Amino acid sequence: MAGKSKTRSLQVFDTELSADAVEWCPVSSSHNILACGTYQLQRRGKRVSPPAAPVVFEFQQEESLSPPLIELQRMDTAAILDLKWCHVMVSGKAVLGMAAATGDIQLYTLSDSQEGSRSIQSLSSLEVGADRLALSLDWSTGRMDSSDVRVVCSDSAGCVSVLSLAEGTLTALSQWKAHDFEAWISAFSYWDMQLVYSGGDDCILKGWDLRVGPSCPTFTSKRHSMGVCSIHSNPHREHILATGSYDEQVLLWDGRNMRQPLSESAMGGGVWRLKWHPAHQHLLLAACMHNGFHVLNCQEALESSGRACPVVASYILHNSLAYGADWSRLSLEKHAPCSPTAAEPKESLTETRGHLRIQYESPTASFDASLEDDAGRYIPEGTAVASSTLTAGPVSNPEGDVPSLTCLLASCSFYDHMLHVWRWDWTPDEAQQESEQC
């Protein structure tokens, strides 16, 4: 790959229930807030909705002997299949949306308590249909536009619903049958909130124009060979869309011509979630189920149709289905604690104060490091530990004149109910940096 790239674990957290969705708050005053959605696997024969515990965290950057991710709140709700923050404040507060197994879209506001801590409080909810699961949601505010706040959601009955949020209340605007089986994913075009995309277990990707009604899609694509389960509109480049599927492919599209994708990239695992970087228009994060988490550089693919997107970073320290992933908007100017470069793990776990002691062993036993010392104390970056090979400090930049990129990310995995917070340091080569200009 071009340039120098390194991923390093900062912290690992046991969510106790199966984790399937994670997202950092995009509102500027709350960039350090992270939400994780979970649910308990339902036993056979039970018809009750499986419980869940959405967890809210705060990321603290102060240099200390405490882990940076602190749990703020855990709630008992119906199972959460997806969650996303509204990109803008609503009535002066950050709003978190959740898609629940009860068929509801639930909204919560982030508030400050009298004790000085932060928590989410119920704002509004709306059932999109009986006897179904709400499977996904997306906000119309991806380009930080608050002129008309809407939510699109998809469900297990194959339907897509568009809701409006006004004066703290959700109202249904339209609903239609979009797919023959589960509608795994729905998303807005962030450049035109009248345009909606959906993907389903029928292996079909569809587009919808709300101005002409949902009686007929604007396009129908069968380019994916298996169920379509991830869609994300690029907030930086108009018309650009990324889709992922159980067929293990990431496709890039120009919305003006949906007959043929711009690019196709094999990921080695079903692509459950895709997230464009909040600031860098060519970087795409993919949660690839059986094959971990990867960052794609889509620059050449978008400039020259037909080229696959190279993987510039991988995080493979999860031992279960890679489901949720997101970029943080926080700046990592201060040093954060870290563990070694990511490698396929074999782990031993001991719970300590909300985070886990995890010992990573590479397949070749080339390193053996822990996030704690033998006394159970947290290891911040720069601390010498004789029994480990922790990499301290930011990635070096020997060229000097080539800007480097440092990102904070979060990811979660299902059956092992793990939430990981990690950093990625990247110094692209000079030719790439001059071409990208971002």
What whole-number distance in Å separates Cα of residue 97 and Cα of residue 123?
Answer: 10
Which residue did the predictor score with more confidence, 94 or 65?
94
Calculate the average pLDDT of the chain. 84
Q: How confident is the model over 372-384, as a mean pLDDT? A: 43
Cβ neighbour number for residue 64 with a 10 Å cutoff: 11
pLDDT at 392: 25
Sequential DSSP letters for 382-429 = T---TT--PPPSSPP-TTSSS--EEEEEEEEETTTTEEEEEEEEEE--
Convert the pLDDT of each residue in 313-337 to its tens digit: 999 999 999 999 999 999 886 544 4
Q: How confident is the model over 425-431, as a mean pLDDT? A: 80
Lay out the sheet containing 80-85: strands in order across. Answer: 80-85, 95-100, 104-112, 118-127
Cβ neighbour number for residue 154 with a 10 Å cutoff: 32
Whether residue 155 is predicted with pLDDT greater than 70 in this model: the reply is yes
CATH number of 19-42+49-332: 2.130.10.10
Whether residue 361 is predicted with pLDDT greater than 80 in this model: the reply is no
pLDDT at 386: 30
What whole-number distance in Å separates Cα of residue 230 and Cα of residue 224?
Answer: 11
Of the candidates 30, 43, 6, which has an alpha carbon nearest to the alpha carbon of residue 112? Answer: 30
Of the candidates 280, 332, 171, 154, which has an alpha carbon nearest to the alpha carbon of residue 228? Answer: 154
Question: What's the full length of the chain, in residues?
Answer: 438
- Grade residue 42 by pLDDT with cuts at 50, 70 and 90: low
Whether residue 226 is predicted with pLDDT greater than 60 in this model: the reply is yes
Of the candidates 167, 74, 178, 174, which has an alpha carbon nearest to the alpha carbon of residue 123? Answer: 167
Gyration radius of the chain over CA positions = 21
Residues 6+ apart with CB under 8 A from 376: 352, 357
Whether residue 350 is predicted with pLDDT greater than 50 in this model: the reply is no
Lay out the sheet containing 322-327: strands in order across. Answer: 4-14, 418-427, 405-413, 322-327
Buried b (16+ CB within 10 A) or exposed e, 223-237: bbeebbbbbbbbbbe
Alpha-carbon dihedral 142, 73, 90, 68, rounded to 10 degrees: -50
H helix or E strand, kind and range, residue 361 = strand 355-361
Candidate from 27-41, 228-242, 265-279 with smallest mean pLDDT: 27-41
Q: Which pairing describes strands 263-266 and 273-276: parallel, antiparallel, or unpaired?
A: unpaired
What whole-number distance in Å separates Cα of residue 21 and Cα of residue 414?
Answer: 9
Sequential DSSP letters for 93-112 = B-EEEEEETTSEEEEEEEEE
In this prediction, what percent of the chain has a pLDDT beyond 90? 70
Convert the pLDDT of each residue in 180-210 to its tens digit: 999 999 999 999 999 999 999 999 999 999 9
Lay out the sheet containing 18-24: strands in order across. Answer: 18-24, 33-39, 55-59, 69-74
What whole-number distance in Å separates Cα of residue 139 and Cα of residue 199?
Answer: 16
Convert the pLDDT of each residue in 234-248 to its tens digit: 999 999 999 999 999
What whole-number distance in Å separates Cα of residue 424 and Cα of residue 257?
Answer: 34
